[in-house]
Structure 1
Amino acid sequence: MSALSRLTVTETRLFFREPMIVFFALAFPALLLVILGAIPAFREPDESIGGLRTIDLYVPIIVAMGLAMFALNSLSQLLASYRERGVLRRMRTTPVKPELMLGAQLLMSTILSVATMTVVLAIGRLVFDVSLPRQLPAYLLGYVLAALAMFAIGLLVAALAPTGKSAGAIGTVLFFPIVFFAGLWVPRDGMNDLLRTISDFTPLGAAVQAMQDATAGHWPQPLHLAVMLGWTIVAGGLAARYFRWE
C-alpha cells in the first residue's frame, strides 16, 4: 500500500472512533430521509411542484446536506485540531509530509460521502419509490462539483480557525444557512423568487438544482455548474493562501 492509502485507512479508523461525527455524517442523512418519507403528505403527488412528491425533492437535498456535514463538521474540525495539537508540524520532520494528511482526509471524506449518497439513493428508491437519476453522468458531475465546492469551504474554515473547537463552531454557523438555501426547510420549488435567486448562487442551492435536473433527465444549467466551480476556485484559493501547518 502507498503512504496515502495507509494514512487514509488510519484516518478512517480514527474517524469511526468519534461516534457523534459518525452518526451525523453517515447515519443522520438516511435517518432523516426515512422520517420525512414517513409523513403521508410527503408521499402524495403535488400539482404545485409539477406532479412530483415532496419526498422526491428531498432526496438530492439530503445528499447535499451529507456533503455539508462532512465538509463543515468533520474535515474542517479534524484538520484544525491536528494543527492545534502539533500533529501537522511534527509530520513535517518525517517522510510522511502534511500534504499527505490533507490528501488522506479529502480521500476519506470523498469515499464516505459517496457511500452516504448511495445509501440515501437506495433508500429513496427501494422504500419510497423515488426515481433514480435518468442522466447519471450529469448527476455525478453535479455531485462532484458540489463536493469540490464544499470541501474547499471546509478547508477554508480549517485554514482560518485557530483551534478545533472554533472550526467546529464556524462550521456549525455556516452549515445552517447553506443547507437552508439548499432547501432543507423549504424546498427550492416552494421558495419565493428572491430566495430562489439567492439559492442559485449558493454552493448547495446550485448543487441541488443540478441533481434535480439530472434526476429528471436533463443536463444541469450552466449557471449552476459555474456557481459550484466558482465557489471551488475562490474558497480553494483562499484556503491555499491562508492554510497554516503550525
Structure 2
Amino acid sequence: MSATTALFRNELRLTLRTPAIVIWTVVIPVVAIIVMCSIPGARQPLEAFGGLSVVEAYQPTLVVFAASMLALQMMPMILGQYRELGFLRRLRTTPAHPGNLLAAVLALILVIILVVGLFLSTLPLFFGLGSVGRQTLVVLLLIPCAAAFLAVGALLAAVIPNPRVASGVGSATAAVMWFAAGMWVPRAVFPGWLATVADWTPGGAVASLLTSAATGAAIGWQPLVCLVAWTVIGFTVAIRTFRWE
C-alpha cells in the first residue's frame, strides 16, 4: 500500500507538470455545461430530446466524454510509454511491483473522472435543474460508470503494447462511446435497433443510467448489467494478457 501511495503521488506530480491532456479533457465538458446552464432555453424541455432539456440530454454525454478521454486515451498511453521505455521492467528490481504502478495509475484516473463527474452532475442544481436527491444518486452511479471505462482502457493497454497505437485506438473507441451517448445525434431519435446496440456499449449504458437517475425515472437493470459485464470482462482480459515489457 505504501508503494502504491508513493507511486500515486508521483503520477499526480507528473500529471500536474504536463497537464495538457487532462486540461483538454476537463475544460471542454466543464465549459460546455456552464454555457448550457447559462442559456435559459437550454434549460427548457424540448420534444427533439424526448422531453428533456438540452442540459439534461447532454449532461451524461459530457460525463462520457471526460471518462472516455481519460480512461481510453490517457491511461493506455501512459502505461504503453512506461512499457516501451523499460520503466516497468526496471521497476521489478525495486521493492515496488509494476502492479503497484498499475493500481496508482488506475486510482489517479478514477479520482479525476469522479471529480469532473461530480462537478458536471451538481452544477445544474445552481440553475434550478434537478434535485439534491437525484443528483446524489447520479454521483454515486459515477463509480460503476468510471469502472467500466477503466476496464476498457486497461484492456486496450494490455493488448496493444505500442503507446501511440493504443492512444489512437482509444480515441476511436471513445468516439464510438460519444455517439452511443448521443453527442452528435440525440438518443431520443435513435431507431430501435440502434438504441439497443448503443445501450450495450459503456457510453450508451452510462448515458441511459445517468439520465434516468437525474430525471427521476426508474433505473432499469440493463445499463447496470452492461456496465458490470464490461468491467468484469475488461479487467479479466487485461489481467490475463498484460505484459510488463
Shared fold (TM-score, shorter chain, > 0.5): yes
Counterpart position of 1:235: 234
Question: Are 1:188 and 1:196, in contact at CA under 8 Å, matched by a contact in 2?
Answer: yes
Counterpart position of 1:113: 113
Counterpart position of 2:197: 198
Secondary structure of the corresponding residue to residue 122 of structure 1: helix
- After the TM superposition, list the runs of 4 or more consecutive aligned residues in structure 1 that deviate by more than 6 angstroms: none
CA distance in structure 1 between the aligned counterparts of 2:36 and 2:92, rounded to whole angstroms: 47
For 1:200, give the aligned amino acid. Answer: D
TM-score when scaled to structure 2?
0.91
After the TM superposition, which residues 43-122 of structure 1 pair with which residues of structure 2 at under 5 Å, given as runs? Answer: 43-47=43-47, 49=49, 51-122=51-122
Compared CA separation, residues 172 and 16, structure 1 to 2 (3 A) = same
Counterpart position of 1:214: 213
CA distance in structure 1 between the aligned counterparts of 2:211 and 2:85, rounded to whole angstroms: 42
Counterpart position of 2:153: 154
Query: How far 1:178 sits from its partner (Å)?
Result: 1.2
CA distance in structure 2 between the aligned counterparts of 1:132 and 1:86, rounded to whole angstroms: 50
CA distance in structure 1 between the aligned counterparts of 2:234 and 2:16, rounded to whole angstroms: 28
For 2:72, give the aligned amino acid. Answer: L
CA distance in structure 2 between the aligned counterparts of 1:29 and 1:132, rounded to whole angstroms: 21
Counterpart position of 1:4: 4
CA distance in structure 2 between the aligned counterparts of 1:51 and 1:243, rounded to whole angstroms: 45
Question: Are 1:121 and 1:132, in contact at CA under 8 Å, matched by a contact in 2?
Answer: no
Ranges in structure 1 where 5+ consecutive residues have no aligned partner: none
Secondary structure of the corresponding residue to residue 16 of structure 1: helix
After the TM superposition, which residues 18-29 of structure 1 pair with which residues of structure 2 at under 5 Å, given as runs? Answer: 18-29=18-29
**Residues 112-164 of structure 1: CA deviation (Å, up to 9, x unaligned):** 111111222233332x4331463456434532222111101101111122222
Ranges in structure 2 where 5+ consecutive residues have no aligned partner: none
CA distance in structure 1 between the aligned counterparts of 2:124 and 2:132, rounded to whole angstroms: 11
Counterpart position of 1:17: 17
**Residues 61-91 of structure 1: CA deviation (Å, up to 9, x unaligned):** 2112211111012111101111111111111
Query: How far 1:95 sits from its partner (Å)?
Result: 0.4
For 1:65, give the aligned amino acid. Answer: F
Secondary structure of the corresponding residue to residue 123 of structure 2: helix
Secondary structure of the corresponding residue to residue 78 of structure 1: helix
CA distance in structure 2 between the aligned counterparts of 1:85 and 1:30, rounded to whole angstroms: 34
CA distance in structure 1 between the aligned counterparts of 2:132 and 2:192, rounded to whole angstroms: 26
CA distance in structure 1 between the aligned counterparts of 2:47 and 2:201, rounded to whole angstroms: 27
Counterpart position of 1:170: 169
Compared CA separation, residues 134 and 193, structure 1 to 2 (3 A) = farther
Question: Are 2:114 and 2:142, in contact at CA under 8 Å, matched by a contact in 1?
Answer: no
Comparing 39-48 with 148-157, which one deviates more in the overlay? 39-48
For 1:143, give the aligned amino acid. Answer: L
Q: Percent identity?
A: 32
Question: Are 1:80 and 1:164, in contact at CA under 8 Å, matched by a contact in 2?
Answer: yes
For 1:16, give the aligned amino acid. Answer: L
For 1:87, give the aligned amino acid. Answer: F
Is residue 2:192 matched to residue 1:183? no
For 1:60, give the aligned amino acid. Answer: P
